[in-house]
Amino acid sequence: MRAEERRYEDSLDMAYSYQLAKRLETYKTNPCLGYRTAGSEAEHLTGDMLAEEMRKIGLQQVRKEEITVDSWDFHHCIMRYRDKDGVLHECQLGAYQTNFQTEGWQTFPVVFAGKGTAADYEGLDVSGKLVMAQINQRDEWWISFPVYQAYIRGAAAFIAVQEGGYGEIDDTALNAQDIGGPEYAPAFSMSRADAAPLRERLAGEGEVTVELSARSVVRRDCRSYNILGEIPGREKDSMILLSAHYDSYFSGFQDDNAAIALMLGIGRALVRSGYRPQKTIVFCAMAAEEWGITDSKYDWSTGAWQQVSRVHPEWQGKVIADLNFELPAHAHGAADGVRTVYEYEDFMKRFVEGLELEDAGAVFPEGIRVLCPVETMSDDFSMAISGIPSMVNDFTAGQFMETHYHSQFDNDDVYDEAVFAFHHRMYGRLVMAFDRLAAAPLDFGRVFKALRDCADLEFSQAKGADGAKLWQQAGEAMELGQRIYGRIREMNEQYAAFLDEGREKEAAALREKARKKEQLLLQAFRKEQDHFVRLDWHDQVLFPHQGVRENLIHLEKAIASLEKGEVRQALEAIYQIDNNRYAFEFDRAVFDHFTDSVMNQAPERLQWGAGRIIHHENLFELVASLKEKARRMEAWRQDAAGHLCEDFAGDEARNLCEDVSVGAAGDLCIDFAGEIAALKQVEAAQTACYIDDIAYMLHGTETVMQILMETEED
């Protein structure tokens, strides 16, 4: 351990970091449940507190930088009702980012609508009523779909009860997520424990009158602030960024109070240790991560996206790394994890291998894993696509996301000081490791290897695409990237040696030479992010051609199934295409709203998701047609089963039913010719998209390679 690392660790104060995390609970919009929401007074007051704290710990250039957000102020939602025995219940409800104000107590009829799908409303009048439904957002569909379904059916508001997926820790757990839908479709959440007695009455009576008092207010185009402070380096325009968000649901101890405390705990220790960085170290407490813009599929990470796209677009080319923090005071498994961009995978693996922290085995017996690429769940994705190589402590591997996340159980009962201390030491050292680099250690060989690994030469050949050429070109780019990275590593090792030996002139000369290469590497990184990073409809990160390829595979299965009269199998395949799974469960108006909000909305409303989904196939009418034919076939099969059971029994009858169901379409004169023709048209269109995507990636590979080759000219 170098002396500066020892001084840093000796300067850490875990009591300070823990108390700061607790102090972040001071300001809240809901006096009972918490919530420190985007653009609210609670967020503004907390931002002021953090600015003052940055000054106290010795950060310089402390400032508040304004961003534009849709603000949300959730003060309360309380329900009163009597159970079947006449006992009065008064319940606190959680909320989603929507408008609903009662101006005191107001009575509403409540009805139960199953899972909140279109089918659950058959024969149900919900006009002006509260609609309660059970949802599982992790395994089925996001909250926005059943909420909008209730809205278009005339409901006063939707009340979600989590039946699994989130808030699993306890039946009293409330849960709320970013809504991803319009503010004019009101929604709240209710715990399973509070909902059970009401559900019991609803089962017997069908409709129950309750009292509700609520104030949830969304206002468009308001302001909030990202809070920044610095430790100035010898280089003013070369930076290392540390980030975490300071808005929260409920008390938000892990998400993200502890992350803010980790970030400032690192800053405080660096200042107290007397550390003098080469690069300027910037600390950014970001507003509006949990939400920040209404009626957008990409409504989170608003503060981060605006920081690098609007407030400081010039950071691209200056910030060599963003170290983002989320839920860092809890072990999310036996192994720790760092999720990073492809280009930093090798650097991070080498860093982790050389850590030699004494208690690493006790805290994380299975070590530290380096994962890539970055995902959309946290602010580091906005950083990466804006040209800033980023990473985050991995927080999605364990059960915390399903049990405690976004509930009132995210409190300091889940605080693990050993994990928190480990992350203070690890990420403080990582800051110093980045500071000792002559050039950003970007390994483009890794991203081109990933591109090559997902190539399917047989598939692309069958579709008439230039997959073989892309595979060859990606291989050449991979070798080029690896060769350049090898030279960058050598420069960085030499630079660190000069610093250790006190040879400042040689270090400065090497750094000046390396900076030219670094500028080109960061430029190539931004181009690579622009060309290669796309999303599917479930926010998974992929290469441009991968989404279309998956669609084509499912289309082939659907067509083949229909040609054999197997409508159920065809529907299962269509379910996987783009966002058409929602055509199975919700009204056309719901499906269209959330499709249009991605495909036909201004980029500034889509934020970091703009342009990341390019192609879309709307199969709503085809799904409706096939569902009706499947219903007729099922009715025919059940009738046939009844007749068969007169003469056969048990397994023999079931086997015969399967045999006759295959012939059901023919016997019923059900014709799939129209659907098959429609799917073949879609297949042709998607094939054209696939060919275009491969060509686009060839162009992107050439563009990145041209920039990389410039680094070899010097």
Q: What is the mean pLDDT of the chain?
A: 94
Examine the domain organization and report whether 420 and 314 are in the same domain. Answer: yes
Write out 510-561 in H/E/C secondary structure.
Answer: HHHHHHHHHHHHHHHHHHHHHHHCEECCCCCEECHHHHHHHHHHHHHHHHHH
Q: What is the pLDDT of residue 641?
A: 59
Distance CA 28, CA 36 (A): 5
**Beta strands 106-112 and 130-135, pairing class:** parallel
Distance CA 106, CA 108 (A): 7
Q: What is the pLDDT of residue 356?
A: 76
Question: How confident is the model over 354-359, as a mean pLDDT?
Answer: 78
Give the residue among 93, 118, 277 at the shortest CA–CA distance from 195. 93
Say if CB 242 and CB 263 are below 8 A apart: yes
Q: What is 136-190 written as a DSSP string?
A: -TTTT--THHHHHHHHHTT-SEEEEEE-SSS-TT-TT--------S-TTS-EEEE
Q: Which of 217, 237, 253 is the last residue of a domain?
A: 217
pLDDT tens digits, one per residue of 509-554: 999 999 999 999 999 999 999 999 999 999 999 999 999 999 999 9
Percent of the chain with pLDDT over 70: 96
Helices (H), 404-503: 417-435, 444-453, 457-462, 467-500
Say if CB 330 and CB 416 are below 8 A apart: yes
pLDDT tens digits, one per residue of 217-239: 999 999 999 999 999 999 999 99
Q: What is the pLDDT of residue 652?
A: 47
Q: Which of 382, 409, 435 is the last residue of a domain?
A: 435
pLDDT tens digits, one per residue of 463-501: 999 999 999 999 999 999 999 999 999 999 999 999 999
Is residue 634 very low, low, confident or very high in pLDDT (cuts 50, 70, 90)? confident
User: Is 561 inside a domain boundary?
Assistant: no
Distance CA 711, CA 701 (A): 16
Q: Which of 381, 404, 435 is the last residue of a domain?
A: 435
pTM (two decimals): 0.94
Examine the domain organization and report whether 429 and 455 are in the same domain. Answer: no
Examine the domain organization and report whether 134 and 188 are in the same domain. Answer: yes
CATH number assigned to the domain comprising residue 16:
3.40.630.10
Give the residue among 18, 88, 30 at the shortest CA–CA distance from 408. 30
Check pLDDT > 50 for residue 335: yes
Number of domains in the chain: 3
CATH number assigned to the domain comprising residue 158:
3.50.30.30
User: Is 285 inside a domain boundary?
Assistant: yes
Element of type H or E holding 652: helix 650-662
Examine the domain organization and report whether 415 and 516 are in the same domain. Answer: no
| Structural domain boundaries, residue 184 | 74-217
Check pLDDT > 70 for residue 662: no
Examine the domain organization and report whether 69 and 79 are in the same domain. Answer: no
How many C-alpha atoms does 31 have within 13 Å on its Cβ side? 2
How distant is the alpha carbon of residue 83 from its chain centre?
39
Q: What is the pLDDT of residue 664?
A: 52
DSSP single-letter state for residue 439? S
pLDDT tens digits, one per residue of 380-413: 999 999 999 999 999 998 899 999 999 999 999 9
Is residue 639 very low, low, confident or very high in pLDDT (cuts 50, 70, 90)? confident
Percent of the chain with pLDDT over 90: 91
Examine the domain organization and report whether 331 and 411 are in the same domain. Answer: yes
User: Is 10 inside a domain boundary?
Assistant: yes
Examine the domain organization and report whether 213 and 226 are in the same domain. Answer: no
Check pLDDT > 60 for residue 667: no
> In this structure, what are the phi and psi dihedrals at residue 230, rounded to the nearest 5 degrees?
-135, 155
Is residue 647 very low, low, confident or very high in pLDDT (cuts 50, 70, 90)? low
Q: What is the pLDDT of residue 649?
A: 47
Q: Which residue has the tokens 């069958």?
A: 462
Examine the domain organization and report whether 69 and 206 are in the same domain. Answer: no
